Amino acid sequence: MSNDEARFLLAAYRPSGRDAGDPAMAGALEQAKNDPALGAWFSREQAHGFAMAAKLREIAPPAGLREAILAGARASGGADAPRRARWAQPVWLAAAAAVAVLLSLAAWWRLAPVGGASFEEFAVNFVDRGFLLQKRSANVAELKTWLAGQRGPLPETLPAEFARLRALGCRKLDFQGRDVSLVCFERGGKEFHLFVLRREDGPGAPAGAAPRFIDRGKLVAAAWSDAKNHYVVVSDAGMDPVKRML
């Protein structure tokens, strides 16, 4: 089974875990355990599913919706009523409307702007919500070339430990109207998300100042600056591994 096939199956895995015993899922779940990148993707998808479920629970259906659907179904079944195509019956139209709402919510969750009073807060919030990469490659030089083509800020000299990480991909972001580059790395099933903002585009620590560390429970972050850029790295690896990277 390829990772693409596993992703196709796992995309249907319910966050509640009720599919854990489904034989059709067994191979994909095993592959997610053994492949760090696939496992990290699966964890993000599950977190997204939980968040979507929470948002849906906040939505109250319009008063009388159930009665209106049942009344429409009864009316469509009368002896003298003209026969409608199956897809045009009220119950199916109501189901289609529900699906449209779900898709709209999913799109809103993925595309809605991420808030944050500071660059560090924005970076942590962005990773916490979940996201998709725009460019995938294990070649950091290729990722930097792509970011340059998007006019994103390019990371300068990074701590030596970054060279030991496996690159996953990158994307360009907008933070309060300023360009931000995101380059994602992975090691041992844990992800390290590097955000880059030009010094001229926003406030930050003086170049060479000691890194600042942030603990948000399941996510930790470190922020530092050099002569050209501000950096924030966000990870689910824990504070000690992040500190060792710097």
Q: What is the pLDDT of residue 71?
A: 72
Nearest to 235 by CA among 161, 196, 185, 174: 185
In a domain, 13, yes or no: yes
Q: CATH number of the domain at 132, please.
A: 3.30.200.100
The overall average pLDDT reported for the chain is: 80
Q: What is the pLDDT of residue 110?
A: 46
Q: Structure pTM?
A: 0.58
Q: What is the pLDDT of residue 78?
A: 55
> Tell me: the pLDDT tens digits for 195-208?
999 998 877 777 77
The answer to whether residues 99 and 163 belong to one domain is no
- pLDDT < 70 regions, the chain: 15-16, 49-58, 60-62, 65, 72-113, 115
The answer to whether residues 101 and 155 belong to one domain is no
Mapping DSSP to helix (H, G, I), strand (E, B) and coil, where does residue 14 land? coil
- Containing structural domain, residue 92: 71-110
> Tell me: the pLDDT tens digits for 30-55?
888 888 778 877 877 777 766 666 66
Report yes or no: 199 and 224 within 8 Å, Cβ to Cβ. Answer: no
- Single-letter amino acid code for the residue at 228: K
In a domain, 66, yes or no: no
Question: Which residue is it, tokens 């259906």?
Answer: 61
The answer to whether residues 45 and 82 belong to one domain is no
The answer to whether residues 131 and 105 belong to one domain is no
Calculate the alpha carbon distances from 101 to 6, 109, 172, 224 in Å. 27, 12, 28, 42
> Tell me: the pLDDT tens digits for 113-135?
676 788 999 999 999 888 889 99
Report yes or no: 156 and 225 within 8 Å, Cβ to Cβ. Answer: no
Q: What is the pLDDT of residue 50?
A: 67
Domain count, the chain: 3
In a domain, 65, yes or no: no
